[in-house]
Amino acid sequence: MRLASSVFASLIFPVMCLAQTPATPLRIAASTYASVEVHLNARRVGNSWYEEDASLSGPSRIAVTYGQPHARGRKVEGGLIPLDSVWRFGANMATTLHSDLDITLGDLKLARGDYSLFILYTRTGYALIVNRGTGQWGTDHDAAKDIGRVALASRTMAEPEPSLSIYLVPDAPQPGTGYAELKGVLRIKWGTTELTTNWRIDQ
């Protein structure tokens, strides 16, 4: 009887220990994927503009797509955005710029197509880096593929922005008409900093 009890205990004890072992937490994190686009209800074919109709695949567009990081109480300027080194300008995959049209960003002319964007933050200011590489992870910046840099104007905001937010704002100098011009402002907000530069469609 004593032997039977010891055998039973030796069998049940490992099962009890196994049941009480806490499960390993999943290494899964929620993340945000965002995109901002400017649409034009026309396509340019050769030197002429054609309004959208059934024969076209849709409006011309300019789009910035990015993984959207959140501060979550952490320092942004000089923290999440490092000083004196190239920043991935987002999270996860590299932030991308797509344009169906030739555009000028700041003073940098870009042919229609796809690009990756990075930011350089230094003690003298911010610069947007346009890179011809696409499809890479955000930390994989190949400087040999840089096309150029665009100086970004900066200002300090009274209220901090908790998440990286990017806007492509069309310019409407005569808002009463309901029309916007083929140009505008690229606006970037995060932390207490707002960065801006102009964009326009080359006709």
**Which tens digits make up the pLDDT trace of 22-74?**
777 777 777 899 999 998 877 777 777 777 665 556 688 999 999 999 999 99
Residues near 162 by beta carbon (within 8 Å), at least 6 away in sequence = 70, 71, 72
**For residue 64, what are its two tokens?**
């910035």
- Find out whether 107 and 153 touch, Cβ atoms under 8 Å: no
Asked which of 39-53, 80-94, 114-128 is least confident by mean pLDDT, the reply is 39-53
147-170 per-position pLDDT tens digit = 999 999 999 999 999 999 999 999
Residue 8: predicted pLDDT: 47
**For residue 3, what are its two tokens?**
């032997």
Residue 103: predicted pLDDT: 97
pTM score: 0.81
**For residue 153, what are its two tokens?**
């104007």
Distance CA 46, CA 58 (A): 17
Residues near 59 by beta carbon (within 8 Å), at least 6 away in sequence = 39, 40, 41, 42, 43, 52
